[in-house]
Amino acid sequence: MKHGILNRCKVPEQWRTALLWLFFLFWVVVIFFRLLQIMALNREEYLLDLEHGRNWRYETVSAARGRLLDADGRPLAWSTRHFALVWRVPSETVTAEEKWRQISEKITSDSALSKGRAAKDRAPGRRVHLIDSLTAEEFRNLQPLVDKLESVEIKAYFQRQRINHSRLRQLIGEVETKQGMEIGVSGWEQEHNHLLRGTPGVLKVRLDHQRRPIPETREIVRDLREGHDVYLPFRINSNN
Amino acid sequence: MKFFNYITAIPRRGITPAVLICLGLSGLGCLAIFNATFYLQDPYEHLLHQLLWLVPGSALMITAAALPSSWLRTLGIIGAIFFYILLVGAIFFGIGVDSIRGLLSWRGVLIQPAELARPFFALVLALALHHTRKHRQDWFLGSTIPFLFLLIWLIPLLSQRDYGTAAVLSITFSLVFLCLGGSFQHWIGNSLASLPILALVVRFGSVGRDSLNSLSILNQSFSSQTQVSQFQHALASGGTFGQQLGRALESPLNLPPDQDFSIFAALGQSLGLLGLTSLLLLLMAWVVYGWRNCGRIEDEEETDIDVFRPAAIIGLTSLVAAQACLQLSTNLGLLPQLGLQLPFITYGVNSMFSVFITIGLTESVIRSRLN
């Protein structure tokens, strides 16, 4: 039987299976040379890069999601930025007690104090949101604590708001937060996600000998790009 | 009595040299896992977890290797239908972890139908190509029908953004199709014709988000790029001969243990380039093993030769080899992240079971061919 190009090349039938062997041989050789490059030829470069990486930490900055607007520019869905105080509870009880003592001196909110006390005892090794939405004054007062304790951080996050209209809310859809980014999962939010979703920025910051970030050394690696606003082709009745 | 004899013969029939080597590699995989996770609060947690699943996995492999050849075709069809239903069901009822949606959760156990369906895909593919062997040069029966079979599998996979499994199945299909005498022109033509359909599925039919961006190396998430560079740093620290054998200290600083590549990176740091080369040689040995056991596929004088067995051997061999090569390529920065796991070395239950079943079935087919 004649079989296309391989037979025109006079390849015996039983050598077709050599395709299997040659295909993977070629691929494995490529992988080997890549390993050789990383582990032998350019090893010094990678090790220098690693040393450099140890002293630096990369942080991502979430980009604001674009707004959904009607034809006249009335907002239907928009994101608001909030700042949360997050504590990574140490695994060891003694350390947790000591850290909590330092944190509780700076916190005045009763709900945050009770959350922290509960987390200290029952959630070792976990991240706990002590305060979900910091005010400007709280932010200012807690910044020294964050700089002092590595296990405490102020984390920015977005919360999606929607117009107060049940039918429109259904059409607008929902968003989910994933790795700090809001992603549309239903309705118009999903349909226009590629426009609404921005690109997070990346910063790098040098670490000191105790592996705490040195704020003055923050550098932008990649600029963030905020999401685009999307104008929908209808007008909401201002009486609704 | 016959059934009793069969059951008691399973250990002898199932334990072949290839199965023993695979069990040895699994042990090496457990050591690699301990090597990468010893620094954790519970240093034996991941190791014990892997050993726990190794027992049923090994039993599956030995049982699959002992199956009579007459069962393989029926088993292939039943398995393919069963896991295909689960695969489609995962689109609607599945849960999402990272970028993969196709997981089913049952009493705390995560089942990934896409992984477990692979060996059955290879068996049914072999069956399909066997039944169309007389029409190999016919464009419709010999080429388009098998391609439609592949498309039926790729569509639910791409809907769940399981690009890794889709790539493995595509490579397997291509190799089996071409090795069995399929026309290269038909392969090119049907591949190009399939691309728009697959692109539409990825763009509009995906249940995940950011489908297209995740395929581009340039547009991958920053964390994904960071993980690849951390992987390469850990490898570089191993050098040619390895460091800190048994205790890979570099990877714990940078790589979380539940990442599919961190075990290999830790192994690379411990064994060095020479040690990893031996793993690559083992991979090639597997490919050569499958190749040498294919046997004759077609002969000009015999038109009714059974091509199921050689097709199944090529398909099952290619599944494991393609998965390993793709996984290594993605983590060396040669290909975009596809979410695959390295056979034997990676910490993961579904992948382990899938590879064990594949190897067991390969042994069964080889034994039936030799008989």
Each residue of B221-254: pLDDT tens digit?
A: 445 556 677 778 778 888 888 876 555 544 444 4
Nearest residue of B to residue A32, measured between CA atoms: B277
On whether residue B2 sits in a domain, the answer given is no
Closest CA to A24 of B293, B284, B112: B284
Question: Domain check: are B201 and B113 in the same one?
Answer: yes
CB contact under 8 A, A43 and B329: no
Residue A190: closest CA among chain B residues belongs to which residue? B209
Q: How does residue B122 score in pLDDT terms, banded at 50, 70 and 90?
A: very high
pLDDT of B310 above 80: yes
The alpha carbon of residue A221 is apart from the nearest alpha carbon of chain B, in Å, by: 11
Distances (CA, A) of B326 to A193, B133, B202, B262, B342: 30, 30, 20, 16, 9
Range of the domain at B189: 75-215
Is residue B167 domain-shared with residue B197, that is, in the same domain?
yes
Torsion-angle region of residue B4: left (phi > 0), alpha (psi -120 to 50) or beta? Answer: alpha
Residues of A in Cβ contact (< 8 Å) with B239 = 39-40, 43
Which one is predicted more confidently, B135 or A174?
A174
Q: Once rounded to an integer, what is the mean pLDDT over residues B15-37?
A: 75
Question: Residue B53's pLDDT is what?
Answer: 81
Is the pLDDT at A57 greater than 50? The verdict is yes
**B98 and B53 inside one domain:** no
Do residue B201 and residue B229 come from a single domain?
no
A46 close contact with B: CB closer than 8 A: yes
What average pLDDT does this structure show over B280-309? 72
Name the band, by pLDDT with cuts 50, 70 and 90, for residue A60. Answer: confident
Q: B293 lies in a domain?
A: yes
Residue B2's φ and ψ, nearest 5 degrees, are -60, -40
Contacts 24+ apart (CB under 8 A), A106-113: A106/A141, A106/A142, A106/A145, A107/A131, A107/A142, A109/A138, A112/A85
Residue B369 and residue B229 share a domain = yes
Assigned domain for B7 exists: no
Q: Residue A87 above 80 pLDDT?
A: yes
Interface of A with B in 61-120 (CB under 8 A): 91
At A153 the pLDDT is 82
Kindly report, residue by residue over B166-212, the tens digit of the pLDDT.
999 999 999 988 888 888 888 888 888 888 888 887 777 665 444 43
In chain A, residues with a C-beta closer than 8 Å to the C-beta of B273 are 35-36, 39-40
- What pLDDT, on the 0 to 100 scale, is given for residue A67? 93
The answer to whether the Cβ–Cβ distance between B334 and A28 falls below 8 Å is no
Q: For residue B136, what is the nearest residue in chain A, using CA coordinates? A: A3
| Of the ranges A57-61, A73-77, B1-5, B138-142, the best mean pLDDT one | A73-77
Taking only the tens place, the pLDDT of each residue in A142-195 is 888 877 777 788 888 888 999 888 888 999 998 888 767 788 888 899 888 888
Average pLDDT, chain A: 79
pLDDT-wise least confident of A78-82, A145-149, B49-53, B260-264: B260-264
pLDDT at A10: 37
Q: Percent of chain A scored above 90 by pLDDT?
A: 12
Does B144 lie in the same domain as B172? Answer: yes
Question: Quick check: is B260 in a domain?
Answer: yes
Is there a domain that residue B86 lies in? yes
Query: Strands, E, within B163-238: which ranges?
Result: none
pLDDT of residue A66: 92
Taking CB atoms and an 8 Å cut-off, how many pairs form between chains A and B?
Answer: 144
User: Which pLDDT score, from 0 to 100, does residue A155 have?
Assistant: 82
Q: Are residues B321 and B204 in the same domain?
A: no
> What mean pLDDT do residues B83-89 have?
87
pLDDT band with cut points at 50, 70 and 90 for residue A9 = very low
pLDDT for A119 equals 73
pLDDT at residue number B261: 55
**In a shared domain, residues B200 and B235:** no
| pLDDT of B3 above 60 | no
Q: Mark yes or no for CB contact B253/A23 under 8 Å.
A: no
Mean pLDDT of A26-32: 93
Q: What pLDDT band is residue B271 in, cutting at 50, 70 and 90?
A: confident
Q: Please tell me the distance in Å from B114's CA to the nearest CA on chain A.
A: 23
**Which of B44-48, B59-63, B319-323 is least confident?**
B44-48
Which residues of B fall within a CB distance of 8 Å from A211? none
Q: In the Cβ-directed half-sphere of A94, how many Cα atoms lie within 13 Å? A: 0
* Residue with the larger pLDDT of the pair B70 and A3: B70
Q: What is the pTM of this model?
A: 0.67
The answer to whether A4 contacts B283, with C-beta atoms less than 8 Å apart, is no
Residue A184, amino acid = G
Backbone φ and ψ of B207, nearest 5°:
-85, -10
Answer yes or no: is B145 within a domain.
yes
- The answer to whether A46 contacts B233, with C-beta atoms less than 8 Å apart, is yes
pLDDT greater than 80 at residue B45: no
- The answer to whether residues B283 and B175 belong to one domain is no
Domain boundary among B189, B215, B241: B215
pLDDT class of A68 with cuts at 50, 70, 90: very high
Confidence band for A4, pLDDT divided at 50, 70 and 90? very low
The count of domains in chain B is 2
Among B213, B325, B331, B335, pick the best mutation site for testing chain A contact (most A Cβ within 10 A).
B325
Question: Which residues on B lie below 8 Å from A39 (Cβ)?
Answer: 235-236, 238-240, 268, 272-273, 276
| CB contact at 8 A, A174 and A189 | yes
The region of weakest confidence among B95-109, B184-198, B209-223 is: B209-223
Do B87 and B183 reside in the same domain of the chain? yes
CB within 8 Å: B181 and A16: yes
Q: Is the pLDDT of residue A77 over 90?
A: yes
Same domain (yes/no): B259, B178? no
Band of pLDDT at residue B100, cut at 50, 70 and 90: low
Contact B179 A222 (CB under 8 A): no
Domain boundary among B168, B189, B215: B215
Task: Write down the pLDDT at residue B358.
Answer: 92
Last residue of a domain, one of B215, B243, B259: B215
A79: left (phi over 0), alpha (psi -120 to 50) or beta: beta
Q: Examine residue B91 and state whether it is found in any structural domain, yes or no.
A: yes
Rounded CA gap, B324 and B283, in Å?
Answer: 8
Enumerate the residues of chain A whose CB falls inside 8 A of the CB of residue B268.
35, 39
CA distance B179 to chain A (A): 5
| Interface ipTM > 0.90 | no
Question: Does residue B279 sit in the same domain as residue B181?
Answer: no
Distance CA B319, CA B42 (A): 34
Contact B278, B241 (CB under 8 A): no
Chain A residues in contact with B236 (beta carbon < 8 A): 38-39, 42-43, 46-47, 50
